[in-house]
Amino acid sequence: MRIAFCLYKYFPFGGLQRDFLRVALACQARGHAIRVYTLEWRGDIPAGFELVLVPVRALSNCRRYAKFSAWVAAHLHGDPADRLVGFNKMPGLDVYFAADPCYEDKARTLRNPLYRLSGRYRHFAAYERAVFGAESRTEILMISPLQMPLFQKYYGTPDARLHLLPPGIAADRRAPINAAAIRAEFRSEFGIQENGLLLLQIGSGFKTKGLDRSLKALAALPQTLARRCRLIAIGDDDPKLFRAQAQALAIAEHVSILRGRSDILRFLLGADLLVHPAYNENTGTVLLEAVVAGLPVLTTAVCGYAHHIAEADAGVVVAEPFYAARARLRAGSDAGGRTRAPVLAPQRARLCRSGRHLQQCRTCGRRDHQRALMDAGEVFLDEPFRSLWAGRDPFVAVEALAGEVYRELEGRRTLRTEVAGRGYFVKIHRGIGWAEIAKNLATLRLPVLGAANEWLAIQRLRDLGVDSMRAVAFGLRGRNPARQLSFIITEELAPTISLEDYCLGWAQHPPSLRLKRALLVAVAQAARRMHLGGVNHRDFYICHFLLHLQPPPTADRLRLSLIDLHRAQVRDITPRRWRDKDLAALYFSVLDMPLTRHDRLRFLSAYFAQPLRRVLRDEAPLLARLANEAQRLQARFARKSAAGEMS
């Protein structure tokens, strides 16, 4: 199915824009072709997206948006799509994702009555009616229960067309296993003292999000507490007015206003309180992102997601007027300036548990018991190790496991063991030392500190529908990244054979054409899902695909599992650079196989889920880079082989 998406502007750090990207990527991961109509796109374009920049101009936004809608309708008439999904209200949508609040209610309750005589009002009211009107056929995906009765009050929208979605939280906002180390590094980088308090505000549109309120609240704190506080605001907006306000309030040295950025998790882990005193907020996804990162929240009740904060006991929700919120913030200190209110107290561990439970219940109901246990702590044991190690220290017990040792290095040990007649692979990491960390960083490589990479990658691949190993035990201990202890135990995948070994005899004994094509498509689809889901492998060679031999593989029935994930990286979106590195490594690893040009083109068509002609047109720079990168890998492999022979 070809799905067309409409939004007026895309930039990486807006809430509506992030919602759009998550939905579009999820549709793409399920095999649908994605087309995007927009007036402006800032940031990377995900692989496989057909981006259409609508070439219309006008003196006013209203006129420009009207031209946008007309242009899109005309373009779809000549090049149809199966569904049209909008993230801004406009006529002709099949589906509307309700990221914005009810415009009619704002116009009637927050504006002067004369406002409704303006052309701006007539435009936006008509576009909202085109979506929510009783006669419209648009299906509406609601993300705020507070807004549903407002739309029905003004438009009489039938219940059957309103579909309430649970809140979505990006996986990269959850507090990772090494959250304490990230927090310590962040606070050191930003010069935050041990007794310092960092207040954080996140969101584009500083006026709507209430940054002026945050500045007034900070200025109203007792001096003994104010000296310890610092406010960092992050968002894509003009900071000039708010910097002037901070100067006027004599708190400029305590305030930093930063542009939108991609490392938000570091700020969530390093801060002591998220402040979000919004004047108007449909949902407020950042509230939930703070909670799952273990950060307390102070927010206003106008936010659609504020009730989740109260239900999870993850902060303070205050009603208007705003002086109540300021009073709560001031109540955070006693006469000596010592923090005592729950909202400013160091209760990150409790809030981490509350936040993880909130995420599990609200957005991840499909996750099984194993993933829930993973979220609860730094040790996970499934059977048979839960019973086998009952009452024992898992880090001592794992060192006592015996079996065939596959690799023994100073900081890592890999072995195969058997328990109750079943095989398991055990990887024990004992810390790589500061020297190794420095060496990796000096060569611009991210060091692999332990088993957490593999653990997180296995969970993400499972969520993406990519077959991999099943982890039955995991543990991590220690905050020092150079001496961190960790382990992971996975079930043995048997009977299997690496895809490299399976294909060794193809030159002498070619497989059936249908089987070869089925394997090509299976590898391409696994790579596609992995990259679209934010995972890059970093050792993406054909030997790391295991082909299951039971039942015997056929063109209609085969199963591949991806292994060796200890260097994998997990993000919300895979950067193009890392995607290309994976594809180049895969290409290099099949150079000696008897694959034809048609085989390679079939792989590309399956990977991009696009007609081959479009792939060759749109991805020509990538194809050239793949060839160059494969040659570089070949040269490096030849140098290593020569060095090995000389030694």
Q: What is the structure's pLDDT at 326?
A: 47
Give the pLDDT confidence score for residue 13 in this predicted structure.
76
User: Which pLDDT does position 645 carry in this prediction?
Assistant: 52
Alpha helices in 271-341 (DSSP H): 285-292, 306-311, 323-330
DSSP state of 44: P
Task: Report whether pLDDT(104) > 90.
Answer: yes
Q: Is the dihedral of CA 131, 136, 140, 144 positive or negative?
A: positive
pTM over 0.75: no
Which residue in 325, 328, 298, 303 sits closest to 314, CA to CA?
Answer: 298
| Beta strand pairing call for 485-491 and 2-6 | unpaired
Flag whether pLDDT at 123 surpasses 90. yes
What pLDDT, on the 0 to 100 scale, is given for residue 54? 95
Cis, bond preceding 321 (omega within 30 deg of 0): yes
Least confident span in 87-91, 93-97, 215-219, 350-354: 350-354
3-state secondary structure of 413: strand
Instruction: Give pLDDT, residue 100.
Output: 87
Look at residue 627 and give its three-state secondary structure. helix
pLDDT at 361: 38
Dump pLDDT digits (tens) for 506-517.
888 888 999 999
**Residue range 403-421: mean pLDDT, rounded:** 88
The H-or-E segment that residue 519 falls in is helix 513-532
602-644, pLDDT tens digit by residue?
898 888 887 888 888 877 777 777 777 767 777 776 666 665 5
Provide the pLDDT for residue 623: 77
Asked if the model's pLDDT at residue 363 lies above 50, the reply is no
The 8-class DSSP code of residue 566 comes to: T
pLDDT at residue 445, rounded to an integer: 64
Q: Between these two residues, 438 and 640, which has the higher pLDDT value?
A: 438
Give the mean pLDDT of the chain: 83
pLDDT in tens, 6-58: 999 998 877 888 889 989 998 998 889 999 999 999 888 999 999 999 999 99
Share of the chain above pLDDT 90, in %: 42
**CB-based contact 206:237 (threshold 8 Å):** yes
pLDDT at 496 over 80: yes
In degrees, rounded to 5, the angle at the alpha carbon of residue 291 between the alpha carbons of residues 368 and 298 is: 155
557 CB burial (10 A radius; 0-12, 13-18, 19+): exposed
| Residue 572 confidence (pLDDT) | 73
Statement: residue 357 has pLDDT above 70:
no
Chain mean position to CA 584: 24
Q: By mean pLDDT, which of 56-65, 286-295, 357-366 is the weakest?
A: 357-366
Q: Exposure string (b/e) for 268-285, b if CB count within 10 Å is 16 or more?
A: bbbbbbbbbbbbebbbbb
Q: What band does 364 get if pLDDT is binned at 50, 70 and 90? A: very low
Beta-carbon contacts of residue 129 (< 8 Å; ≥ 6 apart): 136, 155
Higher-pLDDT residue of 645, 188 = 188
Model confidence at 349: pLDDT above 50 = no
Residue 486, beta-bridge partner list:
429, 476
Catalytic residue among 105, 382, 539, 599: 539
Q: Are 199 and 231 in contact (CB under 8 A)?
A: yes
- Where is mean pLDDT largest: 397-401, 481-485, 596-600? 397-401
pLDDT digits 0-9 by tens, 523-545: 999 999 998 888 999 999 999 99
* Amino acid 477: pLDDT: 85
Find residue 415's DSSP bridge partners: 405, 426
463 is catalytic: no
Of residues 480 and 163, the one with the higher pLDDT is 163
